[in-house]
Chain A
Amino acid sequence: RCASWTSEAPVAVGDADQIQFLKHSTRTRATINCNFSEHAPCPMEPHHPRRAPTAAMDPPSPAGARPAMSHSSAFLLPSSATPAASADAYAVVVLNQRLPRFAPLLWDRAQVRVCADGGANRVFDGMPELLPGHARDDVRSRYKPDVIKGDMDSVRPEVKEYYSNLGTKIADQSHDQDTTDLHKCVAFITDNSPGSDKSNLCILVLGALGGRFDHEMGNINVLHLFPNIKIVLLSDDCLIFLLPRTHTHSIHIERSVEGPHCGLIPVGTPSTSTTTTGLRWNLDNTHMSFGGLISTSNIVDEDQVMVTSDSDLIWTISLRH
């Protein structure tokens, strides 16, 4: 189900004496702005990629050989507007950061709701704040997690007790320090969802972006570790999800709730070839990498964006307020 996760046991430090510190050299660059994309006519550090000239020698990428995967943010639409089926089953995972404003909407949409440790504090405190017209206890019992999972070092004792009394399962995993809280929650949800076909499952994660950067990176790594599960990380400002290289992607844009700003980011591995349609600045067999060109501050121009790449990419789109 997921790529092998090697848990690093503490490794004894090798003999570290006589480490020579090299002062950072001031390597001068010939032209700071022309340090990537050899075929592009010296654009500046790409804020968004220019349409690169298609190399005549390159064979067309066999996009047809890959299965298609479609994506939609219909879960962000007000419940009255939802089309009949986008995903059959939604799960919500709440991590330990301030709830985004649409948390109640997503919670209502989901069939399974899991709080990762201190995420339970956020639901306890935050849901009544987001629904000020209702009595706190009514809100808390309505927005009661199915499970609180993790190592329990952040959840307040009174919060844990409150939800436990309402029937929330407390799944203490303090013994397992090798995986992140989000990893544990995703594994739990996939283990407990019916059937072997997870293609109709979509896990919506709140609180995974911002905050401590190592947490954010660990959360993004979970997307890479579970490439066959739809997992969406959401904040007030944007959402992100993985576009695995094994598929061609069709992203349906819900213009009333998302866009227009978007991007495609090759996290972890450069992409030698990415092709898109539907963006203001499309990629055409374009090379993307950190240190070179990545697609940021792009704009969705059509209701459907298509992406094909030889590398896993992170798709991001802004959310409307």
Chain B
Amino acid sequence: ASPLGSRAKMRICADGGANRIFDEMSQMTNDLDRNRYIPEIVEGDMDSIRPEVKRFYSSQGSKISDKSHNQETTDLHKCISSIRHRTPDHEKANLCVLVTGALGGRFDHEAANINVLYVFSDMRIVLLSDDCLIQLLPKTHHHEIYIESSVEGPHCGIFPIGAPSTSTTTTGLKWNLSDAEMRFGSMISTSNIVDSDKVTVQSDADLLWTISLRNLT
């Protein structure tokens, strides 16, 4: 999380995510100075963030964006909307949103977070965990995925989570798909292997791409 944080232009904590930064960031970096890791914004319905954490970040200049009146959207959705709103149009094409803490845990939360990728399909949003990352490949585009083999791979997969695919074609994988059908209840691509520095994917369905992350010690 520390390398990601130091590269980011904007850092947002979704509600209890602020607790996580407060408690865990300094442990990871051996840096007792919490002041180095101040989010620009803390956003959400504020039912998880501890009061002392909220006070600390507020006193350090974080904007506290209380959206507790809006119970219709998840915290991640609110954050993505907020980022989108604050990004000038000319920068939108180069924007990539990196999300930690969206996978694992409660399955309905994970599903809702994955759904945010579909709802905001014109944005680059990457969900990351210790084990892997996932990203949406919208059907409207032919995709080129550059593999950073020092940090990711070799295990990967492609999933038609929203709707089946009648035709998907890939290159760069150990088991490539060639005009293949993919469907839950039939074949989906799991435990595939990246075999090249570049993977390409083209499909008639929105697909979820995942690749394993190497343990960086």
Contacts and interface: CB of A to CB of B under 8 A. Distances in A.
Interface of A: 3-14, 16, 19-29, 32-33, 35, 43-48, 50, 180, 209-215, 217-218, 220-221, 224-225, 227, 235, 237-238, 240, 261-263, 265, 267-270, 289-292, 294-298, 312, 314, 316, 318
Contact of A24 (B109, B119, B122, B157): B122
Contacts of A238: 106-108
Given A43-B72, A214-B157, A27 B122 contact: yes
Interface residues of B, number: 70
B141 interface: yes
Nearest to A16: B171
B14 interface: no
A3 B157 contact: no
A44 B73 CA distance: 6
Interface of B: 70-74, 77, 81, 84, 89, 92-93, 103-109, 111-112, 114-116, 118-122, 124, 129, 131-132, 134, 138, 140-142, 144, 155-157, 159-164, 169, 171, 174-178, 180, 183-192, 200, 206, 208, 210, 212
B178 A268 contact: no
A235 B141 CA distance: 36
A117 B156 CA distance: 20
Closest A-B pairs by Cβ, 3 of them: A268-B184, A214-B157, A263-B108
Contacts of B176: 10-13
A262 B111 CA distance: 11
B171 A8 contact: no
B184 A220 contact: yes
A316 B140 CA distance: 31
A175 to B, nearest CB: 16
A291 B178 contact: no
Interface-centre pick from A11, A19, A291, A297 (highest chain B CB count, 10 A):
A291
16 contacts: A8-B187, A10-B176, A22-B141, A25-B122, A33-B81, A45-B73, A47-B71, A212-B132, A213-B129, A213-B132, A262-B108, A268-B184, A290-B118, A290-B162, A291-B121, A296-B108
A267 B184 contact: yes
B205 to A, nearest CB: 10
